[in-house]
Amino acid sequence: MTRRRLAIPFFVLTLTLISGMVLRAGPPVEPAATPSIDAARIAHGEYLVTIGGCNDCHTPWKMGARGPEPDMTRMLSGHPSALQMPPVPALPPGPWMASVAATMTAWSGPWGVSFTANLTPDRETGLGDWTFEQFVQALKTGRHQGKGRPILPPMPYFNYAKATDDDLAALFAYLQSIPAVQNRVPQPIDPPEAQ
């Protein structure tokens, strides 16, 4: 091979390297951001809250343009503390078992009267001071913070007791990420025969 034949590929290689350096002289190109584990976990928790219907009972309902709808300005804040409920109406004899408030946050039945909990991260009135372990135990045992009073209907804790640890971690992460709403929910009321 002659020197001239070697010089042409060497020249092309040198020109390619130099042009590559010139093209890279601008700011470095960042790869597309992948969601962090926390962001992915929170997104999964939001999905579970949505398909699990948590807003159906834990978000007070209001009358909207198309009829009753969850009041998302009070998302997952539970029974409104300012709403004083009148005495429970007597049910007619027959197959009816429960009464429910128009807000969908107060329920009455053979268990007494239950008020849906504040699931927001408010430290005084919601889940803000709960640990993940207390959250898991509550859903697995059906007891407040895993050791307190029973969790009453209509809360289907027995369904959530079958959730995976990853799903429960996602639920907890999402509930800790939403806006805190200070709203002290009343304590349950025992049925008349237990009072």
Spatial separation of the C-alpha atoms in residues 142 and 152, rounded to whole Å? 8
Check whether 19 has a pLDDT greater than 80.
Answer: no
Residue 45 lies in a domain: yes
Residue 158 lies in a domain: yes
Decide which of 36 and 3 is more confident. 36
Check whether 1 has a pLDDT greater than 70.
Answer: no
pLDDT the model gives residue 130: 96
List, for residues 71-122, the tens digit of each pLDDT value.
999 999 999 999 999 998 888 888 888 999 999 999 999 999 999 999 999 9
pLDDT the model gives residue 16: 44
Residue 5 lies in a domain: no
Spatial separation of the C-alpha atoms in residues 4 and 2, rounded to whole Å? 5
Quick one: which H or E segment has residue 107? strand 106-109
Spatial separation of the C-alpha atoms in residues 115 and 150, rounded to whole Å? 13
List, for residues 128-170, the tens digit of each pLDDT value.
999 999 999 999 999 999 999 999 999 999 999 999 999 999 9
Spatial separation of the C-alpha atoms in residues 32 and 88, rounded to whole Å? 57
Residue 60 lies in a domain: yes
Smallest Cα–Cα separation from 76: which of 41, 38, 128? 128
Quick one: which H or E segment has residue 99? strand 99-100
Residue 9 lies in a domain: no
DSSP code at position 7: H
Spatial separation of the C-alpha atoms in residues 171 and 173, rounded to whole Å? 6
Domain count, the chain: 1
The parent domain of residue 56 ranges over 36-82+98-186
Say which amino acid occupies 144: H
Spatial separation of the C-alpha atoms in residues 190 and 195, rounded to whole Å? 6
Residue 81 contacts residue 183 (beta carbons within 8 Å): yes
Residue 189 contacts residue 152 (beta carbons within 8 Å): no
Spatial separation of the C-alpha atoms in residues 168 and 137, rounded to whole Å? 10
Residue 194 binned pLDDT confidence (cut-offs 50, 70, 90): low
Residue 91 lies in a domain: no
Residue 61 lies in a domain: yes
Residue with tokens 């079958």: 162
Length of the chain (residues): 195
Pick left, alpha or beta for residue 78 (phi over 0 → left; psi -120 to 50 → alpha; otherwise beta): left
Residue 89 lies in a domain: no
